[in-house]
Amino acid sequence: MRNLLLILAYDGTAYKGWQRLPGSGRTVQEAVETALARVLGEDVNIIGAGRTDAGVHAEGQAANVHTGSTRPPEDILADLNEALPRDIACRSLKEVPERFHARYWAIAKTYRYRLHAHPIPDPFSQRYSLHVPESLDLPAMEASAAELVGRRDFSAFANHRGLKKGGERDLRTVRIQRNGQFVDILFTADGFLYNQARIMAGALIEAGLGRLGPKDIRGLLETKDRSAAPGAAPAQGLCLVRVEFRTETPEEE
């Protein structure tokens, strides 16, 4: 059996998230598996590096699949992109070690939350950003973001569904970037709790609007109280940008 690594991009608008679940409706995993099965001529089970929620997009979702096919990767890639729905694309496909696992070998993920910071809405970006008509104070957002960086207990910034194994994560960087009318918030961490990126984005938007400050962020982290934190920012502004992997087999493997 060969093990293939796929890097996928998708518009998550029409999907109920990444993970295939009984009765969950249309999912990205199911759509990719259906296309791959057609190309490879066999049933497949793809393993994603992360489970993006309904409406969340990806530029660099990673997944691996084991196959008995001997076809060259470049041929599989070309045929797969022909078979996929138009809102999903496979950006690259290559053979990796048999023991490679997209979820267990991931060491960092980067998510971007995009804001359209302008008084007038843009109909061409509304599927991929959150419109914020008020002026945003970027230095205030950066000051509040600095309080989130590090190994912390993010229980206040995650829904309870994601706390089964504890709320501690290592948030390595938070960057705030203005690109014309858009403001991007980029989070890089060793992993994310359920809805964590969207809840942190919601808090930093509040900071940009002058409703929260660094002291408030510190207080939320200390209380670990989800009910005290802002609501999650809408799904359409969030995008999984990149997944980074270790180069050696983890010890637990």
pLDDT, position 161? 65
Task: Tell me if residue 53 is catalytic.
Answer: yes
Helix, strand, coil shares of the chain as percentages rounded to 5? 30, 30, 40
Q: Is 107-244 a domain of CATH 3.30.390.30? A: no
pLDDT above 50: residue 253: no
Query: What is the CB neighbour count within 10 angstroms for residue 28?
Result: 30
pLDDT, position 252? 46
Q: Is 2-104 a domain of CATH 3.30.70.580? A: yes
Query: What is the CB neighbour count within 10 angstroms for residue 172?
Result: 14
Residue of 38, 62, 42 lying closest to 50 (CA atoms): 62
pLDDT above 50: residue 108: yes
In whole angstroms, what is the distance from residue 80 CA to residue 38 CA? 8
The pTM for the full model equals: 0.93
- Average pLDDT over every residue of 83-108: 96
Name the band, by pLDDT with cuts 50, 70 and 90, for residue 167. confident
- Average pLDDT over every residue of 213-224: 94
Q: Are 84 and 35 in contact (CB under 8 A)?
A: yes
pLDDT above 70: residue 163: no
**Angle at CA 81, nearest 5°, toward 57 and 123?**
40
Q: Name the average pLDDT for the chain.
A: 94
Bridge partners (DSSP) listed for residue 153: 168
Q: What is the DSSP code (8-state) at residue 136?
A: -
Q: Where exactly does CATH 3.30.70.580 map onto the chain?
A: 2-104
- Tell me the three-class secondary structure of 48-86, residue by residue: ECCCCCCCCEEEEEEEEEEECCCCCHHHHHHHHHHHCCC
pLDDT, position 249? 54
Residue labelled with tokens 């699949």: 65
Burial of 70 (0-12, 13-18, 19+ CB in 10 A): exposed
Q: What's the distance, CA 180 to chain centroid? A: 23
Q: What's the full length of the chain, in residues?
A: 253
Q: Are 73 and 4 in contact (CB under 8 A)?
A: yes
- Options 53, 87, 122, 184, the catalytic residue: 53
Residue labelled with tokens 């504890």: 166
List, for residues 185-214, the tens digit of each pLDDT value: 999 999 999 999 999 999 999 999 999 999
